[in-house]
Amino acid sequence: FHHTTSAACCCSKTRSGEKYTDPFKLGWRDLKDLYEDIRKELVISTTELKEMSEYYFDGKGKAFRPIIVVLMARACNIHHNNSRDVQADQRSIALIAEMIHTASLVHDDVIDDASSRRGKHTVNKIWGEKKAVLAGDLILSAASIALARIGNTTVISILTQVIEDLVRGEFLQLGSKENENERFAHYLEKTFKKTASLIANSCKAVSVLGC
């Protein structure tokens, strides 16, 4: 976003002279207590399972996806009725997106036999692969319950597609193509399904909720 060459305009201003606004600062006001609210969705009576499921919701993630979601929600709401507020259901989509993403990380670490993430040991390395799979499943089920609570069938359909794409993307990652052109197309499809689908469909969901 920032221009660095001497011929370009100042890195702190747009071409019209307006200053850039840090998107994380702009979006974070709608995500106060994000991880605390996510942990409230993880209603678990078993101490060990609760600890495993909450392990990555420690507030140390970038919250990249929730930020994009609330910024899209705000943009849609301003465009629709000049409202600068993010609706409660739209904010819920931001939480759900982070939960789906985190569940996929837990499962990815099992598949990749990863030993560290975000500067600490992975769930599978601490508790074992079998328990890690169950922890990821539980996070995903909690996200599904939160999604159902919104009660919009179109939004439910949109975000259910994300879960299907994640599985298909993981399968694509396990394979490859010999032909160079096919290999690149394979890579693009895998990356969309594993990463971009969640971002795109979460933004689509908040736009539906914003009419």
- Is the CB of residue 104 less than 8 Å from the CB of residue 96? no
- Report the alpha-carbon distance of residue 187 to residue 173 in Å, rounded: 8
Residue 211 — pLDDT band, cuts 50, 70, 90?
Answer: confident
Q: Confirm whether 3 is domain-assigned.
A: no
Tens-digit pLDDT profile for residues 64-99: 999 999 999 999 999 988 888 899 999 999 999 999
Residue 6 has pLDDT above 70, yes or no: no
Q: What is the pLDDT of residue 174?
A: 85
Residue 13 has pLDDT above 80, yes or no: no
- Averaged pLDDT, 142-160: 96
Q: Confirm whether 100 is domain-assigned.
A: yes
Residue 15 has pLDDT above 60, yes or no: no
Q: 181, exposed or middle or buried, with CB in 10 Å at 0-12, 13-18, 19+?
A: exposed
Q: Confirm whether 179 is domain-assigned.
A: yes
For the chain, the average pLDDT equals 88
Print the SS3 string covering 117-148.
ECCEECHHHHHCHHHHHHHHHHHHHHHHHHHH
CATH number at residue 162: 1.10.600.10
Q: Is the pTM above the cut of 0.95? A: no
145-177 as b/e, with b when 16 or more CB fall inside 10 Å? Answer: ebbeebeeeebeebbebbbebbebbbebbeeee
Tens-digit pLDDT profile for residues 23-48: 888 888 889 999 999 999 998 888 99
Tens-digit pLDDT profile for residues 169-190: 999 988 877 788 889 999 999 9
Residue 11 — pLDDT band, cuts 50, 70, 90?
Answer: very low
Q: Confirm whether 16 is domain-assigned.
A: no
Residue 1 — pLDDT band, cuts 50, 70, 90?
Answer: very low
Structural domain span for residue 138: 23-210
Q: Confirm whether 10 is domain-assigned.
A: no
- Averaged pLDDT, 178-203: 92
More confident residue, 122 or 2: 122
Q: What is the pLDDT of residue 48?
A: 93
Which residues lie across from 19 on neighbouring strands? 13
Q: Confirm whether 8 is domain-assigned.
A: no
Q: Is the dihedral of CA 179, 182, 184, 190 positive or negative?
A: negative
Q: Confirm whether 75 is domain-assigned.
A: yes
- Averaged pLDDT, 185-211: 95
Q: Confirm whether 55 is domain-assigned.
A: yes
Q: How many domains does the chain have?
A: 1
Gap between the terminal Cα atoms of the chain: 29
